[in-house]
């Protein structure tokens, strides 16, 4: 291997959190690059954001079923939910 190829293999190993032999096997025998491993912090952040989203949905459902919610509050809850969805999408696509 050239030094550039070796450097590229090292990068692939780091991103996939796999030894070089496994990366090469995946490329040669499965004809695909290994998937990037999700960082633990990203996974924890993603899970916490999903919990927050679930809480927002539960609050909105409760408010809508028990009380007449003002348009301002409904818009605020919708805005929070939309912003949370946007953050989650950015986290998932920023790998």
Which tens digit of pLDDT belongs to each residue from 23-37?
999 988 988 888 777
pLDDT digits (tens, 9 = 90+) for 50-78: 888 888 888 877 777 777 778 888 888 88
Q: What's the token pair of residue 65?
A: 């079923």
The pTM of the whole model exceeds 0.85 = no
Residue 83 vs residues 45, 53, 62, 80, 88: alpha-carbon distances, Å? 15, 10, 20, 5, 9
Residue 55 vs residues 33, 58, 63: alpha-carbon distances, Å? 37, 5, 12
| Number of CB atoms found within 10 A of residue 23's CB | 20
């Amino acid at each position: 291997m050239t030094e550039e190829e070796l450097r590229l293999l090292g990068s692939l190993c780091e991103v996939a959190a796999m030894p070089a032999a496994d990366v090469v096997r995946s490329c040669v025998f499965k004809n695909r690059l290994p998937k990037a491993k999700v960082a633990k912090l990203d996974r924890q952040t993603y899970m916490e954001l999903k919990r927050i989203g679930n809480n927002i949905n539960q609050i909105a459902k409760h408010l809508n079923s028990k009380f007449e919610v003002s348009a301002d509050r409904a818009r605020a809850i919708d805005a929070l939910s939309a912003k949370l969805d946007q953050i989650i999408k950015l986290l998932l696509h920023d790998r």
